[in-house]
Each structure stands twice: as structure tokens, then as C-alpha cells.
Amino acid sequence: MKDFLAISDYSSEEIQDLLDLAVKLKKEYFKGGNKPIFKGKVLGMIFQKPSLRTRVSFDMAMRHCGGDALYLSPNEIGLGKRESIADVARVMSGYVQALMARVFDHEHVLELARWADVPVVNGLSDYNHPCQGMADALTIIEKFGAESKGLNVAYVGDGNNVAVSLMHVSAQLGWNFTIASPESYDITPKAVEIGRKIAEKTKSKLTFLRDPHEAVRNAHVIYTDTWTSMGQEEETAKREKVFPPYQVNAQLVSEADKDVIVMHCLPAHRNHELTDEVADGPHSVIFQQAHNRLHAQKAILARLFGVG
């Protein structure tokens, strides 16, 4: 495992192994702290977009395990602008032991990985958000138990980066994944094709709908994300008109399984895609989910470093 760029790059067994390790590292952390398995290692974190969770959870993951992290803001290195991505990758490989990058264009994180001698982690691109997907899976397993095959995961809203990683991790773990999105806001055909290949092996069922009410019927998980992702700001007004029928509110939640959990990767645009009532209500696991970024990423880093 050289890089962590997409959930679909791994086998179901490898994804399960990462989740098992995350559970172990989380337990260890709360029992008195992690062992210094990242001692002498620094993670370089390249951001082309803002971040709270990804930035802080990666930094803390490194520190908790005896390592360190270096934050490089969007203004600092000008990835692909001030300097080519290939040169940035080769220079940074001499300074740090791993790289994490949040980019606009997925091709840019692939390019970074192609040229870097050190492992590269995708901290969100326009295509996917694999670290989020791992934290989401950890949260779902914590709620429903390790024997979770056959769960129904329903995503309501934009078929974006977060939806892609959720679909792929659901397929990997044998969960049924249903998405309801408005016309023109579907998950890309390429991501669907990859998802279908994984789902065939695990017997997971992937369903693509327009109607959010149909999507949440019998759902154990309802997931939503912003209607306008970073980089799409000029489409905000248009999207605000299209997406209101896809709001996750108390009525929609009442149409799912009675023990449904409600998830959101955050940041949430409250009372747009998710109402306050639901975000702060009894079904919501949004903060547990945010906190699980820390534990899932410790496992990813440990496997990339070949330690722990």
C-alpha cells in the first residue's frame, strides 16, 4: 500500500483490516494514549481549499502517535502554479515521510502520488473523499456492529465526492447503497461503474433514484452533504433552487427505519441540506463521525508507514 487515494484501490479485506486497526487504535487512545508508532515521521499537508476536520484530525493523528505534521496553506506553495506538481512532489519527498493533499482536480493528487517517493493521502478532491469514507464506515460499524452486511445506506442530495466514497465503501463492506439526487447532479458514470464492479463481488446492491422518499424507505443510514461543494460557489444560487426537495428533515427521517442514524461529513449548511432539528436530534451521529476521522486516519497512516 503506497498511497491512499481511493477506497476502490483496495480489496474488501484491506478496507476491513484498516477498520479493525482503527477500532484498535481508538481503544488504545482512550485507554491512556497511543504508542509512539509515528516517531521521527512528519506528514506534509498541502491544502488548496479550507478545512477544519481534515487539517486538525491529521495533525492530531500524527502527534498522538509521536510524529508531527506540517500545514501548507493554499497560498503557500501554489501547487501546479508556482511550481509543477512533479517538482513539488520530488522536493517534498526529501523533507517529509508522507504527504496529504486536498486538491480541486483529482488528477492533481494522482500526479503528486506518481512523482512522490513517499506515501500520498487524498484529503479530498473533486472526485472523492476516501478518508471521510473510512470514518463514515467506522461510525456505521460502531452503531450497527461488525456483522453489518446487508445494511441499507441512503444518500440524499448531490452526487459529489463524499457520495462517491460512501458508495464505494458501502459496496466494499456489503452494504446496500441507494442515492437520490436531482437530474444533472448524479454520481459520475465512471464512479458508478467502479462501484458496480465492487458490489458484484460483495453482493451489495446499488440503486440510483430521483425520489428521496423512496431512497430512505427501510434505510438504516441517511447521509447528506452540502448542495454546493468547494469550487462550485458560482453555482450556489442555481443549486439552492434545485435541492430543497432533498433536505434531510424530521419528516424524511420518520420515513426510514426507526433506528436510522443520520450522517453528514460537515461542514453542514444548517437548515439547507440538514435541519437543526435533525442535526441535533436523537438520530444524528455527526459529531461522532467527525471525531472518527482521527481514528480512521491513524489506521491509514499506520498501514502506509508499515507500522503498528
Q: Which residues bind ligand NVA (CB under 6 A)?
A: 124, 160-162, 225-226, 229-230, 265
- The answer to whether 132 contacts ligand CP (rule: CB under 6 A) is yes
- The answer to whether 265 contacts ligand CP (rule: CB under 6 A) is yes
Q: How far is the CB of 10 from ligand NVA (least distance, A)?
A: 21
Residue 150's H or E segment, with its range, is: none
- The answer to whether 124 contacts ligand CP (rule: CB under 6 A) is yes
The three cell numbers of residue 45 are 499537508
The CA distances from residue 78 to 46, 72, 81, 90, in Å, are: 10, 10, 5, 15
Q: Can you tell me which of 107, 266, 307, 308 binds ligand CP, judged by CB under 6 A?
A: 266
Q: Where do the H-state alpha helices sit in the chain?
A: 12-30, 53-64, 74-77, 85-92, 106-115, 130-144, 161-172, 189-202, 212-216, 236-242, 250-254, 276-279, 286-305
β-bridge pairing 206-209 and 221-224? unpaired
Query: Pick from ligand NVA, ligand CP, none: which does 52 bind, CB < 5 to 8 A by kind?
Result: ligand CP
- The answer to whether 264 contacts ligand CP (rule: CB under 6 A) is no
CA distance 121 to 258: 37
- Is the distance from CB of 198 to CB of 9 less than 8 angstroms? no
Q: How far is the CB of 53 from ligand CP (least distance, A)?
A: 4
- Is the distance from CB of 126 to CB of 231 less than 8 angstroms? yes
Q: Can you tell me which of 48, 51, 122, 152 binds ligand CP, judged by CB under 6 A?
A: 51
> Catalytic residue numbers?
102, 129, 132, 225, 265, 293
Residue whose CB is less far from ligand CP, 242 or 266: 266
Q: How far is the CB of 54 from ligand NVA (least distance, A)?
A: 7
Residue whose CB is less far from ligand NVA, 41 or 108: 108
- The answer to whether 128 contacts ligand CP (rule: CB under 6 A) is no
List interacting residues with ligand CP (CB under 6 A).
51-54, 124, 132, 265-267
